[in-house]
């Protein structure tokens, strides 16, 4: 495998993984390891297929998924997509803020007399006061116009994720027992995995820059790598968390909340993960800002508009952090709603539109990786039947996850 393949594989996989290694073990332990394996395999497979559909109809010049949607489905769908992704990035920001504050709060609590994380108070140092301080520190980064220097930092900071995986494997190897089937809940895990395997927006800019001649293979390898990492942290995390409870005063959102907070390695790991997530937040805010003004067709927004958006974004982050929302619910509902739309409905809609309602030649859409010119061919009834069956199965999986998440409230 050459460098042209390694970079997109690592970038796509790293983008999907994010802070999942410290969150997924808690869910694997809560709902059972085999439940996690089954649901993650199904969602990984279907997400990979729809991601390959995006790749199939992508043009080299399209640097963002919204341009592909605009070309195939039209400007109304592009506008809807921008609106959906605004919500998506705001939700992602809330998830990252909650995780980062949860990580650093346990460290600060070792040195400062503080209230339990689940107690809303301003009478002493609390989770709410930490949120105010944290957002004030982050606020200046929300006004950055050029985030190019920041884009490289999370990649280097991903060392913290690697250390977290090593920590989970080490702790898991110390326990002889695991919970295989622990819950009959079939709504939370699939919803979480729809977010954990949502690489569709990431893959488009990678495709436009990648010089690899095996883009489909690279996408498949990235998904296999991501799936493997999830199973490793899920397996060893389930062992590590067996019959453990969160440390007193902590939320239990991450696996680190279940170990003594005075352990030096736990402290170092929490600080490194806090830094890694904090470096991602300005990037998430920047992309959300671009989507917001694209939704209103404001190509060159005035400075005061950028300032207002940044303050509103910061206020939303602070509000949800102070409310100390349940992280599991936030992740699962985001995955169920946004994951179904971006990961299932839009790719299948693009596929149906291009295959059955577009008469352009195949090579005009860059459907192959060679320069060979293809002739359009008549689609047979059997091919239509199999194609509709495949699309129906994939859509039914995504829609089932969405419906079940709201049934099992």
Write out 352-369 in H/E/C secondary structure: HHHHHCCCCCHHHHCCCC
- pLDDT, tens only, 79-132: 999 999 999 999 999 999 999 999 999 999 989 888 888 888 898 999 999 999
Confidence grade of residue 214 (pLDDT, cut at 50, 70, 90): confident
With tokens 């994939």, the residue in question is: 394
Token couple for 371? 């320069």
Beta bridge partners of 114: 125
Mean pLDDT of 368-382: 57
* Distance of alpha carbon 339 from alpha carbon 8, whole angstroms: 21
CA 212 to chain centre: 24
Report the pLDDT value the prediction gives residue 290, as an integer from 0 to 100. 87
Q: Total domain count for the chain?
A: 1
Asked whether residue 369 carries a pLDDT value surpassing 60, the answer given is: no
Asked whether residue 357 carries a pLDDT value surpassing 70, the answer given is: yes
Contacting residues for 81 by C-beta, under 8 A, at least 6 apart: 65, 66, 69, 342, 346
Report the pLDDT value the prediction gives residue 151, as an integer from 0 to 100. 66
pTM recorded for the entire structure: 0.90
Report the pLDDT value the prediction gives residue 377, as an integer from 0 to 100. 59
* Distance of alpha carbon 326 from alpha carbon 370, whole angstroms: 49
* Distance of alpha carbon 166 from alpha carbon 188, whole angstroms: 26
Token couple for 242? 């067996």
Report the pLDDT value the prediction gives residue 159, as an integer from 0 to 100. 84
Report the pLDDT value the prediction gives residue 373, as an integer from 0 to 100. 44
Report the pLDDT value the prediction gives residue 76, as an integer from 0 to 100. 93
- pLDDT, tens only, 285-303: 998 998 898 888 877 888 8
The parent domain of residue 150 ranges over 3-407
Give the sign of the dihedral formed by CA 206, CA 209, CA 212, CA 213.
positive
Residue 161 CB-half CA count within 13 A: 21
Contacting residues for 269 by C-beta, under 8 A, at least 6 apart: 160, 163, 164, 167, 256
Widest distance between CA atoms in the chain: 73
Report the pLDDT value the prediction gives residue 18, as an integer from 0 to 100. 85
* Distance of alpha carbon 392 from alpha carbon 321, whole angstroms: 39
Asked whether residue 362 carries a pLDDT value surpassing 80, the answer given is: no
Backbone phi, psi, residue 149, to 5°: -65, -30
- pLDDT, tens only, 196-212: 999 998 898 888 877 77
Report the pLDDT value the prediction gives residue 409, as an integer from 0 to 100. 64
Please give the helix or strand (H or E) that residue 234 lies within, else none: helix 215-241
Q: What is the CATH number of the domain that holds 55?
A: 1.20.1740.10
Mean pLDDT of 41-46: 97
Mean pLDDT of 264-270: 93
Mean pLDDT of 3-30: 87
Confidence grade of residue 370 (pLDDT, cut at 50, 70, 90): very low
Mean pLDDT of 395-401: 95
Helix axis angle, 148-157 to 264-295, nearest 10°: 150
Confidence grade of residue 138 (pLDDT, cut at 50, 70, 90): very high
Cβ distance 40 to 193 under 8 Å? yes
Confidence grade of residue 347 (pLDDT, cut at 50, 70, 90): very high
């Amino acid at each position: 495998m050459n460098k042209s393949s390694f970079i997109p594989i690592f970038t796509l996989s790293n983008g999907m993984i994010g802070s999942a290694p410290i969150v997924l073990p808690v869910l694997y332990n809560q709902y059972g390891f085999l439940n996690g394996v089954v649901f993650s395999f199904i969602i990984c497979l279907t997400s990979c297929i729809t991601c390959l559909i995006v790749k199939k109809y992508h043009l080299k010049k399209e640097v963002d998924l919204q341009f592909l949607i605009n070309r195939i489905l039209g400007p109304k769908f592009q506008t809807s997509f921008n609106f959906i992704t605004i919500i998506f990035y705001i939700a992602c920001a809330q998830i990252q803020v909650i995780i980062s504050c949860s990580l650093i709060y346990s460290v600060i609590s070792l040195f400062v007399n503080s209230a339990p994380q689940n107690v809303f108070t301003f009478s002493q140092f609390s989770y709410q006061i930490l949120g105010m301080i944290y957002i004030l520190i982050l606020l200046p980064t929300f006004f950055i116009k050029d985030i190019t220097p920041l884009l490289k930092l999370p990649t280097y900071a991903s060392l913290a994720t690697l250390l977290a995986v090593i920590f989970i494997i080490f702790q898991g190897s110390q326990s002889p027992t695991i919970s295989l089937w622990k819950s009959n809940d079939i709504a939370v895990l699939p919803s979480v995995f729809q977010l954990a395997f949502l690489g569709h927006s990431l893959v488009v800019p990678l495709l436009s820059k990648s010089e690899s001649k095996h883009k489909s293979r690279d996408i498949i390898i990235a998904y296999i790598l991501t799936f493997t990492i999830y199973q490793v942290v899920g397996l060893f995390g389930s062992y590590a968390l067996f019959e453990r409870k969160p440390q007193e005063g902590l939320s239990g959102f991450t696996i680190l909340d279940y170990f003594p907070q005075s352990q030096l390695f736990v402290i170092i790991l929490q600080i490194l993960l806090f830094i890694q997530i904090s470096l991602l937040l300005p990037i998430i805010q920047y992309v959300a800002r671009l989507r917001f003004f694209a939704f209103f067709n404001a190509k060159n927004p005035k400075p005061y508009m950028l300032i207002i958006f940044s303050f509103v974004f910061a206020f939303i982050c602070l509000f949800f952090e102070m409310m100390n929302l349940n992280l599991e619910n936030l992740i699962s509902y985001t995955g169920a709603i946004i994951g179904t739309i971006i990961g299932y409905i839009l790719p299948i809609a693009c596929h149906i539109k291009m295959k059955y309602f577009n008469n352009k030649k195949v090579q005009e859409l860059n459907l192959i990786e060679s320069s060979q010119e293809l002739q359009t061919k008549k689609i047979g009834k059997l091919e239509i039947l199999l194609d509709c069956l495949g699309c129906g199965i994939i859509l039914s999986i995504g829609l089932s996850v969405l419906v079940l998440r709201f049934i099992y409230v």
